[in-house]
Structure 1
Amino acid sequence: MSWVAYLAPIEQVSAGSAIISQQGAHCGHKGDWKANQAEEVNYANIFKNPSSYAGQSLTFGGKKFMVNRALDDMVMAQAGKEGVILQKSKTVIVCAHYVEGQVAGNVSARVDLVVRQLVDNGC
């Protein structure tokens, strides 16, 4: 299964999603994914010490998002009615961006579903 195929469940509830390696290499994306390579490397670096990012910001598509939750395997950031969700599996990070009118909880649940599928497949 290709990396992009794993993202299908997220596509229905988010503006865009991606899978990146734990070093920040872009593996694939669906939808309107606007993060550049430097931003994706930063997402990977966040998971080296996620608790230090709580209350800090991350950038997506050049826009700053405030990190309002930073756990060992999941980070959530928000800017107004938009948000970014990052969740780590054993080998990759699943990322999703949602916009006004989309529900953060739905996006988070789908990201978690994809991460569980990846883990079940050894990723």
Structure 2
Amino acid sequence: MASSRERRIDALVLFALLALTAAAYWPGLAGGYLYDDMPNIVDNTRVHLHTLAPEALLSASFSSHAGPLMRPISMASFALDYYFFGPAPYAFKVTNLAVHLLNGLLIFWLTTLVLRGYRRYRPDDLTDTGARWL
């Protein structure tokens, strides 16, 4: 079990990382579409949803030809953004930032669990300083 001091440090580090990430990407939220946004969002009429019918969402999800897996989660996200917020790039960029921040939270949480588990079984091999560097 983590001490309250460790939890406070973890929360502070997590908050700082999330704030720095958001601050780094914030200026770009006001910009337009870039790079592969044109073929994947602007020119891809299958993500321009006007209904949330399952067949329309499924069609949009598999409308990309970028790689063998076709990026169905990304394409579904684009379709839902288009349905709820229209074609303006701002909503797409905010969703993208939110997804990346959420993934950062998950990675931080998993890393914290792994390091705490390792420290519990091998306390002499891993100091607090060493854990922070990992």
The two structures have a TM-score, normalised by structure 1, of 0.31
Higher strand share: 1
Higher helix share: 2
Which entry has the higher C-alpha Rg, 1 or 2? Answer: 2
